[in-house]
Every structure is written in structure tokens, then in C-alpha cells.
Structure 1
Amino acid sequence: MVYLILFVAIVAEVVATSALKAAEGFTRPLPSIIVVVGYAIAFYCLSLTLRTLPVGIAYALWSGVGIVLVAGIGAVLYGQKLDLAAIVGLGLIIAGVLVVNLLSKSVSH
């Protein structure tokens, strides 16, 4: 259940971060509301996961997966180009998330 809540936190953060660009400095109301609500949900859900997961592990998973998803959304929705170095770096982030989640004894399964 803790990973489901963490997944909700990640999705809410990714939606909020993606809407942040569309909010144009909080000058557009609907994207601005999505940003505020998304971050509120993200931080609330992240705080719930900290009852079970160590803070370093939860944050590493939350931020790592979020970075990769936001980069993908930036490429698809905003036409941002990812060069080879960016793709390799994102691959390393994914590898790091997998190592932490699958191999680390710090994660309670």
C-alpha cells in the first residue's frame, strides 16, 4: 500500500510540475490551481509514505521517478529536445531507482 501512496505522490508532483510551465508565473488561473492542488496532494502523500519508508529512500524514489517523467512530458507536451547526454543521464536515474528499490536493504519490502 505504501508504494501505491508513493505512486500517487509522484503522479501529483509530475502533474503539478508540468502545469507550472503552463501557469506562466501564476498568471493563468487554471494551471495555477492545478499546481497548488497537485503539490498539496504530492506532499501529503509523500508524508504518509514516511510512516513506513525511510525519508532518504522515499525521496530518492519520488524525485528520481519524477525527474524522468517530467523530462518525458517536457519532450512530448512542450517539444523540449533530449540529447544523448540527457537520455543517458535519465537512464542512470532509472538505474539508480531500480538499484535502491530492488537491491537496497534500506527499503522495507
Structure 2
Amino acid sequence: MNPVLVAYTFLGFAILCEVAGSALLQQSQQFTKLVPTVGMALLYLTSFYLLSQSLRELPLGVTYAIWAGLGIVLTAFVSVLVFKQPMDLWGGVGIAMIVGGVVIMNTLSKTATH
């Protein structure tokens, strides 16, 4: 299998684990509920492990930008859809700018390759 594809797969799962961990962080109620707190810790550890695996093929700057940027976007969607937290127009504009930055970095920048 293509090693870069594998690296992006690791990165995708790292992002999903980070977002799920963040959702459980909300549910842990400041670490007062054991099950969400343990789940959050396990998901964050898994996320960092998968992130480290993606670094075998992908440069750190690009990898972290994608991980952080898409993590922010997906966590914002979870907060709106699951936790019913409002997002205003400017929040949406900011999210769109993050997505745009990730797309530009991956399609136009030469930093996305080793």
C-alpha cells in the first residue's frame, strides 16, 4: 500500500480520536465523571499515537496544521450538533478560513511534500 496514503489514514483516525476525546472532555464535567474522563484520556493518547505514526511520511508542519485545523472544525460541528451550542456568522467565517487554509496548504504549497 502507498505509504503516504497510510500516513493520511493514520492522520484521519488521529483527528477523529481527538474530536471524540474533546467531546468526552465536555462530558467529563471537569474530570468529575470517571467514565468520560478515562475515555477522553484514552482517545487523546490514541490520537497522539496515530499522529506520530503519520509523521513517518508526512512533514510535521503540514501534519499538525491538518490535525489541528480539521480537529477545530469537527469539534465546532460536534459542539453545535451534539451539545446544541450556538455558532454565529463570524464563527462560521472563521471555520471556513481554517478549512481554506488547510486546502491551500495541501494543494498549492510545496511544504506538503518531503
CA-to-aligned-CA distance 1:17-66 (integer Å, 9 cap, x gap): 11101001111111111101100100001111112111111000000000
1:90 pairs with 2:105: no
User: CA offset at residue 99 of structure 1?
Assistant: 0.5
Greater mean alpha carbon deviation, residues 69-78 or residues 26-35: 26-35
1:39 pairs with 2:39: no
User: CA offset at residue 15 of structure 1?
Assistant: 0.3
Other-structure match for 2:58? 53
User: CA offset at residue 108 of structure 1?
Assistant: 2.5
Distance in 2, Cα, partners of 1:77 & 1:108: 36
Unpaired runs of 5+ residues, structure 1, are none
TM-score by length of 1: 0.96
The CA RMSD over aligned residues, in Å, is: 1.1
Structure 1 residues 4-23: aligned runs within 5 Å: 4-23=9-28
Distance in 2, Cα, partners of 1:11 & 1:48: 15
TM-score by length of 2: 0.92
1:76 pairs with 2:43: no
Unpaired runs of 5+ residues, structure 2, are 1-5
Distance in 2, Cα, partners of 1:101 & 1:29: 39
Distance in 1, Cα, partners of 2:26 & 2:57: 33
